[in-house]
Amino acid sequence: MEDLHANWTPHSGQLKTLKDLFYKDCSMVMIQCGRKWGKTDAAIYCLWRWALLHPGSSCYYVAPELKHGKELIWHNQRLVKFGKERDHLGRIVPGGIDSLKKYIKQINNSEARLTLNNGSQIIIVGSENWGAANGLTPDFAVYDEFKVFKKQWHTEFNPNRIVRKAPLVLIGTPPKPGDANREQYIQVAEQAISRKDMVHIEASSYDNPHIPKDEIDREIEILKQRGEFDVIEREYYGKIVTGGSAAIFPMLDRSRHVRPHNDIMLEIRRDLKKLEWYCITDPGSTTCFAAMVAAINPYTKKIYILDEIYEQDQQHTSVRSIYPRLDHKMSEMYPTCEVDEDFFKVYDEAAAWFATEVLHQYGVSFFPTQKHLHKKEMGLSLIKDILLHNLVDISDRCIKLYWEMENYAKDDKGNIPKKDDHLVDTFRYLVAAANYNMVEAMEIIKQRNDVERRGYSLKEDYNDFAPERDWTKILSRDWNLGE
């Protein structure tokens, strides 16, 4: 330990996060840190410390790609000469003491592998080689920039790590909306937050005392001038940010648009027969089968999205598995319904196989979306207006729909993404199938507001017309205003 700390010790920000790993016996430490926090040096420190103190250990440094990992810590000898004196940017200072050289037995440049005298190894691998991950036997591992890993890597590597009870350190800035590995990253973060044997830490760029704070201030000020506050939160404060400047539904608000399922059902139970009922599907036999059950009040134009299916297990995306679940959800939302008569059922026209099989096996008809007649941009714009005017209530059962909408963002080129949008598509198909019209909706809202404004002055409104009649009593009787 003295040799390891001879020329490098964790700064105060790193120290408080690494204590959990080395002194609390945590199975996983996830560090969401801002830029310039010192993540790579912290990763190398963890590898060296574990390898030195646990003879015969296989310690893996996992980068998004092997080439990237070599450039970060191998070609520049950052790993091999970690014990040498460095400046605040991590650059080796000439004449520094190489305090760890005596512990190295062999350096294998072709395999990017460091073998120590005590039998431990530090090995650099890339997540793109996920096919080989299930054959590795780790005793310790560090993920550097997990946000851009190949998704399959953790799926293949983690079971071997768990069997050997190998600690894992995930370190780096959180992903932005649209990143391929964002969903997995958030799942792992939630796991680290909820489990007692794991630790989740948000670390700011300001935690690094070796970086002049005015440098960070200048970069943040530039981003503020551009209005990129989401980038500041993510890149400098290590926070998971939803939406941001690229968000397609920036007006989405959980407090306004999501309600407890029982509250919604209590509100609509008297109007079940008056509502227009829909079952919208986006069938996928090899990717994801998505569906939603929804209702629309034709008199108020309020949309109620009541339940969803988001099935990614290919063993359960067949018609024989899916349709009974759809039928159950429709019957649950509208108990007295005749499913084939009271629900307008829609499928993505690209999946004609689904409609054919449902009709053949269950005698139930689904109708195509005719999405080729409706531009995607127009459908999304209509959903934005619906959100802005609070014309939709989303049940808290619809977790995946909200997740897709919350993270639905344009890419770096300003393009609308073509992934993680299965339930967003069903929302578009819903408003298209209902011929939903914002002009009509706004006219209904205007009429309702006019009635509410007049409701306190009925006598005054009609007194000039026929002052001898009691209009308050008459209209209360005819319009049932008392109730």
pLDDT tens readout for residues 106-153: 999 999 999 999 999 999 999 999 988 888 889 999 999 999 999 899
Contact 448, 300 (CB under 8 A): yes
Question: Hey, what's the torsion of the CAs at 436, 441, 443, 449, to 10 degrees?
Answer: 170
Shared domain for 448 and 360, answered yes or no, is: no
Contact 142, 60 (CB under 8 A): yes
pLDDT-wise least confident of 188-197, 290-299, 456-465: 456-465
The answer to whether position 228 is within a domain reads yes
Shared domain for 409 and 339, answered yes or no, is: yes
Average pLDDT over residues 326-343: 92
Per-residue model confidence (pLDDT) at position 223? 86
Shared domain for 470 and 324, answered yes or no, is: no
Contact 175, 182 (CB under 8 A): yes
Amino acid identity for residue 24 in this structure: K
Average pLDDT over residues 177-203: 86
Token pair 């920036």 is found at 250
Per-residue model confidence (pLDDT) at position 482? 47
CA distance 352 to 365: 12
Confidence of residue 87 (pLDDT cuts 50, 70, 90): low
Residues 6+ apart with CB under 8 A from 376: 416, 428
The answer to whether position 180 is within a domain reads yes
Q: Answer whether residue 455 shows pLDDT above 60.
A: no
Per-residue model confidence (pLDDT) at position 26? 85
Cα–Cα distances (Å) from 38 to 24, 45, 81, 194, 347, in that order, read 22, 11, 17, 26, 50
Burial environment of residue 249 by CB neighbours within 10 A (0 to 12, 13 to 18, 19 or more): buried
Question: Is the model's pTM score more than 0.75?
Answer: no
Average pLDDT over residues 233-256: 83
Q: What percent of the chain has pLDDT over 90?
A: 47
Cβ atoms within 10 Å, residue 188: 21
Shared domain for 35 and 173, answered yes or no, is: yes
pLDDT-wise least confident of 47-51, 331-335, 379-383, 419-423: 419-423
| Helical ranges in 227-318 per DSSP H | 229-237, 254-257, 261-268
The answer to whether position 7 is within a domain reads no
Cβ atoms within 10 Å, residue 222: 11
The answer to whether position 248 is within a domain reads no
Shared domain for 190 and 224, answered yes or no, is: yes
The answer to whether position 247 is within a domain reads no
Confidence of residue 90 (pLDDT cuts 50, 70, 90): low
Average pLDDT over residues 382-410: 91
Q: What percent of the chain has pLDDT over 70?
A: 88
Average pLDDT over residues 378-407: 92
Per-residue model confidence (pLDDT) at position 376? 86
CA distance 423 to 443: 28
CATH for 227: 3.40.50.300
**What's the total number of domains in the chain?**
3
Cα–Cα distances (Å) from 348 to 283, 284, 313, 367, in that order, read 7, 9, 19, 9
Per-residue model confidence (pLDDT) at position 250? 81
Average pLDDT over residues 173-202: 86
Confidence of residue 450 (pLDDT cuts 50, 70, 90): low
CA distance 252 to 475: 40
Average pLDDT, rounded, for the chain: 86
- 6 DSSP 8-state letter: S
Shared domain for 264 and 232, answered yes or no, is: no
Per-residue model confidence (pLDDT) at position 20? 78
Shared domain for 390 and 471, answered yes or no, is: no
| Helical ranges in 389-482 per DSSP H | 399-407, 422-433, 438-454, 458-463, 471-479
Average pLDDT over residues 296-323: 92
Up-side HSE of residue 322: CA atoms within 13 Å toward CB?
A: 28
The answer to whether position 280 is within a domain reads yes
Contact 174, 241 (CB under 8 A): yes
- 130 DSSP 8-state letter: G
Contact 297, 291 (CB under 8 A): no
Helix, strand or coil, per DSSP, at residue 28: strand
Per-residue model confidence (pLDDT) at position 142? 95
Per-residue model confidence (pLDDT) at position 119? 96
The answer to whether position 335 is within a domain reads yes
CB burial string 252-278: b at 16+ within 10 A, e below: beeeebbbebeebeeebeeebeebebb
> What are the φ/ψ torsions at residue 94 (nearest 5 degrees)?
-55, 135
Shared domain for 412 and 468, answered yes or no, is: no
Q: Answer whether residue 251 shows pLDDT above 70.
A: yes
CATH for 389: 3.30.420.280
Range of the domain at 314: 254-436
Shared domain for 135 and 281, answered yes or no, is: no
Q: Answer whether residue 15 shows pLDDT above 90.
A: no
Shared domain for 217 and 305, answered yes or no, is: no
The answer to whether position 249 is within a domain reads no
pLDDT tens digits, residue range 141-160? 999 999 999 989 999 999 98
Using alpha carbons only, what angle is made at residue 447 by residues 441 and 453, rounded to the nearest 5 degrees? Answer: 135
Per-residue model confidence (pLDDT) at position 483? 44
Shared domain for 389 and 315, answered yes or no, is: yes
Shared domain for 171 and 30, answered yes or no, is: yes
Burial environment of residue 297 by CB neighbours within 10 A (0 to 12, 13 to 18, 19 or more): middle
